[in-house]
Structures are given as C-alpha cells and as structure tokens.
Amino acid sequence: MLSGLLLLPLLAIFILNLPFRGLMQKLSLVFGLFLSVWQITFVILLWMGRGGVDYWSKHFTLSLTCDSLTLVLLLSIGIVVLTTLLVSLQTFSSEKQRFGFVNLVLVAMMGMNGTVMLTDLFSLYVFIEITAVSSFILIAFQRDTNALEGALKYIILSASATIMMLLSISIMLLVVGDTSFAAAGKAINQSAGNPLVMPAIGLFVCGLLIKGGVVPFHGWLPAAYSAAPAAASVLLAGIATKTSGIYAIIRLATSVFANNESLNHILLIAGIISILVGAFAAMGQNDFKRMLAYSSISQVGYIVLALGCGTNLAIIGAVFHLFNHSIFKSLLFVNSAAVESQSGTTDMSKLGGLGAKMPVTNATSLIAFLSTAGVPPLAGFWSKLIIIIALWQNGLHTYAVIAIVASVLTLAYLLIMQRRVFFGIPNEEGQSVREAGFGIVLTESILALITIGVGVLFPWIFNSVVMPISSFLK
C-alpha cells in the first residue's frame, strides 16, 4: 500500500499526458483531488488499524517504512495538496496553465511522500531534490520578475545545501560504507571519537536547516513565499519546506544521530533565534505574504526548539505543532490568495476594511491568526503548551520564558494585521471587492473547522491520538 502512494501519482501523470488533450485537461483536477483524498483516507484507515498488504506491495516492493511520524506527515501532505488543488481552481483561469500546475503538484506530492517514507540517507537527498525542483518551477510558474528572482535565490541556496549534504554522505560512505539509516545510526553510536563523524553530522544538519528555512539560513524564504503564485505559496508554506527540512531533521535527530548533545544545543539556539527574528521581522512588513513568511520562520523555530529539547514530550509537541502549523499556515495563505484574487494586491497599506465584504475570509483569518498565536481553545494553543511544558520540565527555563514572550508578541502583531486588513471601514478601492469564489471558501471553511476541531476535541484525543505519536521513538 505504501508503494501505491508513490506509484499511483506516477500512473496518474502518465495517464494525464496521453494524447487526449481536451479531455485530459478537464480531468486533471479530478485526478489530483482523488489522489489527495485517497491519501487522507488511507492514513486514517491505517491509523485505525486496518489496511494491509495489497496489490501494489506484492508486485513493487520498495524499501519503505511507515511509523507514526510518517502517518502524521502523510496526513498533512494529503490535506495541503487537497487545499492547493482547490485553490488553483479559482486562481488559475486558463485550463492549460492549471493542467501544468496540477502535474507539477502531483510530482511534488510524490517527492514529499517518498521523503517521509524512506530509510536511506541518499534516497532522502534524491526525494528532497524532487520536491525542490518542483518547487522551483512552481515559484516561477507565472514568469514575473519578482517570482523569477525568488526562484533563483532559492535555487542557489538549495544547491549549496545539497552540496553540504552530499559532502556529508561521502564522509559517511568512507566511514560506514552504507547509507541507510540503520547502518549510519549504528556506526555513529560506535564511533564516538572519530574526528570525521562530527563534521559529517554538522554538515548534513546545516544543509537541512538551509532547506527548512531556519535562521540564519532563511534568506531565500520571504522572497520565495511572497513572490510565488497564490496556490504555489500554499503548497510551499504549508508542507514542502517543512517536509524537506524539518521532517528530515526530526527523523535524523531521533533515529540516526540519537540524542547528540551538541546537536541538541545547536537546535535549541537555532530555534530560539528563529522565533525571535521571525517575530520581530514580521512586525515591520507591509506586504501580507511577506509577513506570513516571517511568521512561518517563527513557528518553525518553535518546532526546532522543541526538537532541541529532546525528551519524548517535547518531540510529541514538535510533531503536533508541525501538523497544526501546516493546517493554519495553509489557511492563512488561502486567505491571502482570496484577498489577492479579489482585490489585486497584497500591500497592506492599500487594503482595509475588507471584513464587511468578505465575511468567511474574515472569520477564518481571525481563527487562523488566533491559532498561530496560541490562544485557547484552538489547536495552536495545545501544541505550544506541550512544547513549553516540555521545555520547563527539562530545566530550560529561559528558553520557555522567551517562547512565551514571543507568543504574546505574535498575538499582538497578528491582531494588528487582522485589524488593518479586515476590520474598519472599506476605502474607495475596497468597495468593489466581493467574497472569493466557491473553491476558496470551501477550503477555508474546511481548514478552519479542522483547527477548531483539533483544538476543542484535544482533551479527548490526547491519549488516543497525540501520545502514541511518540511510538516511533525507541
């Protein structure tokens, strides 16, 4: 069944590109929606204990595994890809463009599915590159100069990160001789004093930090997120950066480089700096999407901070926050897509008072902002609470205090943004704005319901769904 997640999109792309042009262009969105919904149901079925070996696994055995961390990420990937495809229904008016877009999103989905399911360092590199290449193309999709510049910055920094990761793999090959996770982990355990191993770990983690957009390697992130077309921003911010960078660090920090002291210190410091830099930089932005990009950097800082802490509870908090963040950040970018498509601009000094004209967008944006800042009873509150409790329990009191302060700061500036864009009286430019189309409204409602649902039902699902996340740690 797992290989189906990789092979079915391949089959879909193959079918979509057969020479029946007109029919296939209409069907492309349907295929994409079907695949992402299938992925979500597959994850839910697997979580409840059903679903086993089937046709695909019998004939195409690939070395893929699936544990609880993988399931959380597969669910996030499914939801965000579904969101992206629904948004592209509204924002791409020409069917030919939408056809190319859906194909690229399917390729990105294959790349991300592969990343979260495999067990080998070099294959990790291969699938991260697949996600990165499809991201480059998606950013530059509509060929305006800003987007091309963002894409070029991303390419150069991503390639530098790749070089670092490959250098690390070559050192691994020298010392260990095999690149799978198990062999690498065993060798690192046995070779504490080898002077080559520590630089290898450091290089690989630096490469992944660049790909994940953690400070101080975040230079490409605001330009790429804000310049990309609206639907592509949803995919990028929602899941692509997190899968290639942050998931890989979680997987390596817990299984391969298990509980390395200096690694934890690096992650703690990188995390706390990201939180602060992201929060402060977001306050001074005028463009809606750039502000969301810096807010992403800040939230990813929370995940890295929790990872640096290292205890079971902290890692549960990190993974849960990753899931929540993909939901509410996608929701925020969908809202910005709605605003952009209806009013034509994302410059906040020109927008104002859109709340009366776009009620659904207004309400869902408020919910997403509150969830980002960590206000109860929404989902963001619970995951941040777990992270802060884990930090406190581990004796890292200063980090916990700084995290709480940053959270309050986040709440402050996000509410200011909400007031600037949505509340108040519309100016003359805002008079002709109407509510966004059906696809975007549907998406916003679904994502907001998920955020509220996870938040409100949290006390019930805590023991059954959230705590078993740590079952992948041995």
User: Mask of contacts with other proteins, 213-242, x by CB under 8 A?
Assistant: ----------x-------------------
Q: Does 287 bind other proteins (CB under 8 A)?
A: no
For other proteins, the binding residue among 1, 13, 452, 465 (CB under 8 A) is: 13
For other proteins, the binding residue among 2, 104, 267, 390 (CB under 8 A) is: 104
Question: What is the H or E stretch that residue 270 is in?
Answer: helix 261-283
Cα 219 from Cα 60, distance rounded (Å) = 41
Amino acid identity at 139 = I
Q: 2 and 114 in contact (C-beta within 8 Å)?
A: no
Cα 333 from Cα 241, distance rounded (Å) = 14
Q: Does 190 bind other proteins (CB under 8 A)?
A: yes
Residue 26 makes CB contacts below 8 A (sequence gap 6+) with 95
For other proteins, the binding residue among 169, 236, 250, 379 (CB under 8 A) is: 169
Q: Does 129 bind other proteins (CB under 8 A)?
A: yes
Candidates 34-42, 117-125, 241-249, 317-325; binding stretch for other proteins (CB under 8 A): 117-125
Secondary structure of residue 118 in the 3-state scheme: strand
Q: 313 and 302 in contact (C-beta within 8 Å)?
A: no
Q: 187 and 173 in contact (C-beta within 8 Å)?
A: no
Candidates 42-50, 57-65, 229-237, 405-413; binding stretch for other proteins (CB under 8 A): 57-65
Candidates 30-38, 171-179, 421-429, 452-460; binding stretch for other proteins (CB under 8 A): 171-179
For other proteins, the binding residue among 196, 412, 449, 457 (CB under 8 A) is: 196
User: Mask of contacts with other proteins, 401-440, x by CB under 8 A?
Assistant: ----------------------------------------
Q: Does 1 bind other proteins (CB under 8 A)?
A: no
What is the DSSP code (8-state) at residue 180? B
Q: 335 and 358 in contact (C-beta within 8 Å)?
A: no
Q: How far is the CB of 159 from other proteins (least distance, A)?
A: 5
Q: Which of 282, 324, 287, 317 is nearest to 303 (CA)?
A: 317
Smaller CB separation from other proteins, 10 or 416: 10
Binding-site size for other proteins (CB under 8 A) equals 60
Cα 116 from Cα 204, distance rounded (Å) = 17
Q: Does 126 bind other proteins (CB under 8 A)?
A: yes
Q: Does 293 bind other proteins (CB under 8 A)?
A: no
Please state, as a whole number, how many other Cβ atoms lie within 10 Å of the Cβ of residue 419. Answer: 13
Residue 169: C-alpha distances to residues 16, 63, 202 (Å): 36, 19, 12
What is the DSSP code (8-state) at residue 429? G
Secondary structure of residue 64 in the 3-state scheme: strand
Residue 385 makes CB contacts below 8 A (sequence gap 6+) with 374
For other proteins, the binding residue among 1, 24, 44, 166 (CB under 8 A) is: 166
On the CB side of 172, how many CA atoms lie within 13 Å of its CA? Answer: 27
Q: Does 152 bind other proteins (CB under 8 A)?
A: yes
For other proteins, the binding residue among 44, 167, 198, 456 (CB under 8 A) is: 167
For other proteins, the binding residue among 120, 287, 429, 435 (CB under 8 A) is: 120
Q: Using CB under 8 A, list all residues that contact other proteins.
A: 6, 10, 13, 62-64, 100, 103-104, 107, 110-111, 114, 118, 120, 122-123, 126-127, 129-130, 132-134, 136-137, 140-141, 143-146, 148-149, 151-152, 155-156, 159-160, 163, 166-167, 169-171, 173-179, 187, 190-191, 194-196, 223
